[in-house]
Chains A and B, each alone.
Chain A
């Protein structure tokens, strides 16, 4: 239970970073922390205490293997979600660089041409 609470705490930290910080790069870090928190949650879903990796080797008993191994599906989901967040992260960094090129600042309070 504690570990789920820690995971939730990480999520809230990311959200706080996203809302309270004004630096563009810090906002991107906040998004990354949010993603990691959700990924951690997904991994925790599949975990069981004393579980073995979900890889079947030669000579293993299939019956006991399926009882002992952790759930492999969340790990596949996490891999997909990591790839997606990698794409979003790269997109964000490149847009942030472009913004710096145009505005000469990373401060979001000064990047505010769009109003109303």
Chain B
């Protein structure tokens, strides 16, 4: 397994270029190839769970000279999410993408995005992280504008402008760190920062990183692109963008930089907490008034990422555990919600909640999985969203942030309100006259929705079985900066 670690990037990259060689008439074959590649990746990740952390030196160059790949429990967690959501969105898109032309280019861009995200997650070199980040985001720019209609192009352009600014800021941060310490390896940087203490240039770089990665992860002062970009993409891509891209490129990168490279300080703690609280409150307040189904979901993504950010910024073990758990749960239920909105659009041809109603009679599978996801996101007990929100709130109370805990509960209530609105207008109520003849979505799409719904239920209930091997060691990895440095530089303490 250790030897095959670079294949997490190499397989999707190879498939992305390979399938472009096929003519349009072989689309079915291309679908088979892409699906097999994703299944292989998923099997590889499952084999990686519970594996001892290791580092992999590309081309046998010993760090800090060469590029190092690092496998620890947090990157395994993110890889798992990327490949589960990736595989299911891919299966969903086989039918869904028939309303667009040139499916082969779509799959190629999709695989490029998967390659970029996997690269961000597995790399141990900060410039390499930037390169993979760019691969993932450039392909996502193209995918957001894939429909080539007025709204899609406008959203894509806005996303592109803000995305380029964020990449520039990240590159400037990397340049400043390199100028100060003369190395790009993250563990080596961490070592130098530990030895020299946090001086002004490190603080400047950290500010640039939080700004840049915050833009990629749509924290509130930097959120303007997300409510446009995520609804404009095709539904499987919205699921990928909201489900994993903002986590891999935003939250994960912030965790790595803040915890492992620079080290958690008091001021970072305050900044991350306030970013989280702002995102939580502003996101949900903007979401309540929306009538476009996907736009409402996009605003909820901002708000839920706020929860994760509060947990990360809290920097207590329980808070981080809650944040990682919520990150995982959000990947499942938000992907499910976006896929449901896509299914509704596929059948009814509209995204406006006012034009829907009574879909439960016509589309039972979609409606029931949509209900499960809504219950999860608003934190109703048996589903997964409840447990992770509970963990975050308990952590806040333990750390004596009573006001923020109260705000968190209030935001959860507002989320519930807004999803009751969704349920009331789309699933229940009267069926409008012109939607009398709609049908349930095709079997493959329905199956994907059911699998996600089951995952939403099980990831809450089966926590005692997987919590230890997946999440709790990820939490230990996040906290333990020394262990990360030793893992890469292999120095005996």
Residue of A nearest to B156 (CB): A95
Tell whether, in the assembled complex, residue A31 and residue B161 are in contact, meaning their CB atoms are under 8 Å apart: yes
Tell whether, in the assembled complex, residue A88 and residue B160 are in contact, meaning their CB atoms are under 8 Å apart: yes
**Given contacts A24-B157, A45-B175, A84-B131, are A103 and B150 in contact (CB under 8 A)?**
yes
Task: Kindly identify, within residues 42 to 77 of chain A, every residue whose CB is under 8 Å from any CB belonging to chain B.
Answer: 42, 45, 73-74, 77
Most buried by B among A15, A45, A95, A102: A95
Let me know if B154 is at the binding interface, CB within 8 A.
Answer: yes
Let me know if A38 is at the binding interface, CB within 8 A.
Answer: yes
Main DSSP-derived SS at the B contact region: helix
Contacts of B232 in A (CB 8 A): 114
Q: Which of B150, B157, B171, B174 is within 8 Å of A96, CB to CB? A: B157
Tell whether, in the assembled complex, residue A87 and residue B161 are in contact, meaning their CB atoms are under 8 Å apart: no
**Given contacts A31-B164, A38-B172, A95-B156, are A87 and B151 in contact (CB under 8 A)?**
no
- Could you tell me the distance between the alpha carbons of A103 and B152 in the complex, rounded to whole angstroms? 12
Tell whether, in the assembled complex, residue B179 and residue A34 are in contact, meaning their CB atoms are under 8 Å apart: no
- Could you tell me the distance between the alpha carbons of A77 and B228 in the complex, rounded to whole angstroms? 32
Tell whether, in the assembled complex, residue A34 and residue B165 are in contact, meaning their CB atoms are under 8 Å apart: yes
Tell whether, in the assembled complex, residue B165 and residue A95 are in contact, meaning their CB atoms are under 8 Å apart: no
Let me know if A91 is at the binding interface, CB within 8 A.
Answer: yes
Tell whether, in the assembled complex, residue B145 and residue A98 are in contact, meaning their CB atoms are under 8 Å apart: yes
Task: Kindly identify, within residues 81 to 128 of chain B, every residue whose CB is under 8 Å from any CB belonging to chain A.
Answer: 127
Tell whether, in the assembled complex, residue A99 and residue B160 are in contact, meaning their CB atoms are under 8 Å apart: no
Q: Which of B149, B155, B165 is within 8 Å of A31, CB to CB? A: B165
Tell whether, in the assembled complex, residue A34 and residue B154 are in contact, meaning their CB atoms are under 8 Å apart: no
Q: B134-142, B324-332, B433-441: which lies at the A interface? A: B134-142
- Could you tell me the distance between the alpha carbons of A116 and B153 in the complex, rounded to whole angstroms? 17
Let me know if B178 is at the binding interface, CB within 8 A.
Answer: yes
Contacts of B289 in A (CB 8 A): 116
Tell whether, in the assembled complex, residue B290 and residue A116 are in contact, meaning their CB atoms are under 8 Å apart: yes
Query: What is the minimal beta-carbon distance from B293 to any residue of chain A, in angstroms?
Result: 14
Tell whether, in the assembled complex, residue B149 and residue A102 are in contact, meaning their CB atoms are under 8 Å apart: yes
Residue of B nearest to A39 (CB): B171
Chain A: interface residue total (CB-CB under 8 A): 34
Q: Which of B131, B148, B165 is within 8 Å of A98, CB to CB? A: B148
- Could you tell me the distance between the alpha carbons of A11 and B165 in the complex, rounded to whole angstroms? 11
Q: Which of B127, B148, B164, B178 is within 8 Å of A34, CB to CB? A: B164
- Could you tell me the distance between the alpha carbons of A81 and B168 in the complex, rounded to whole angstroms? 9
Task: Kindly identify, within residues 201 to 248 of chain B, every residue whose CB is under 8 Å from any CB belonging to chain A.
Answer: 228, 232
**Given contacts A45-B178, A98-B148, A103-B150, are A81 and B157 in contact (CB under 8 A)?**
no
Tell whether, in the assembled complex, residue B179 and residue A45 are in contact, meaning their CB atoms are under 8 Å apart: yes
Tell whether, in the assembled complex, residue B153 and residue A38 are in contact, meaning their CB atoms are under 8 Å apart: no
- Could you tell me the distance between the alpha carbons of A47 and B358 in the complex, rounded to whole angstroms? 68
Tell whether, in the assembled complex, residue B168 and residue A34 are in contact, meaning their CB atoms are under 8 Å apart: yes
Query: What is the minimal beta-carbon distance from B269 to any residue of chain A, in angstroms?
Result: 29
- Could you tell me the distance between the alpha carbons of A18 and B158 in the complex, rounded to whole angstroms? 12
Tell whether, in the assembled complex, residue A95 and residue B145 are in contact, meaning their CB atoms are under 8 Å apart: yes
- Could you tell me the distance between the alpha carbons of A38 and B167 in the complex, rounded to whole angstroms? 11
Query: What is the minimal beta-carbon distance from B129 to any residue of chain A, in angstroms?
Result: 12
- Could you tell me the distance between the alpha carbons of A74 and B174 in the complex, rounded to whole angstroms? 11
Tell whether, in the assembled complex, residue B178 and residue A92 are in contact, meaning their CB atoms are under 8 Å apart: no
Binary contact track A86-109/B, C-beta < 8 Å → 1, others 0: 011001100110110011000000
Contacts of A96 in B (CB 8 A): 157
Residue of A nearest to B138 (CB): A87
Tell whether, in the assembled complex, residue B160 and residue A41 are in contact, meaning their CB atoms are under 8 Å apart: no
Query: What is the minimal beta-carbon distance from B204 to any residue of chain A, in angstroms?
Result: 12
Contacts of B134 in A (CB 8 A): 84, 87-88
The chain A residues found within 8 Å of chain B, CB to CB, are 11, 15, 18, 24, 27, 31, 34-35, 38, 41-42, 45, 73-74, 77, 80-81, 84-85, 87-88, 91-92, 95-96, 98-99, 102-103, 111-114, 116
The chain B residues found within 8 Å of chain A, CB to CB, are 127, 131, 134, 138, 141-142, 145, 148-151, 153-158, 160-161, 164-165, 167-168, 171-172, 174-175, 178-179, 184, 228, 232, 289-290, 295
Q: Nearest 3 A-B pairs (CB), nearest first? A: A45-B179, A114-B228, A84-B134
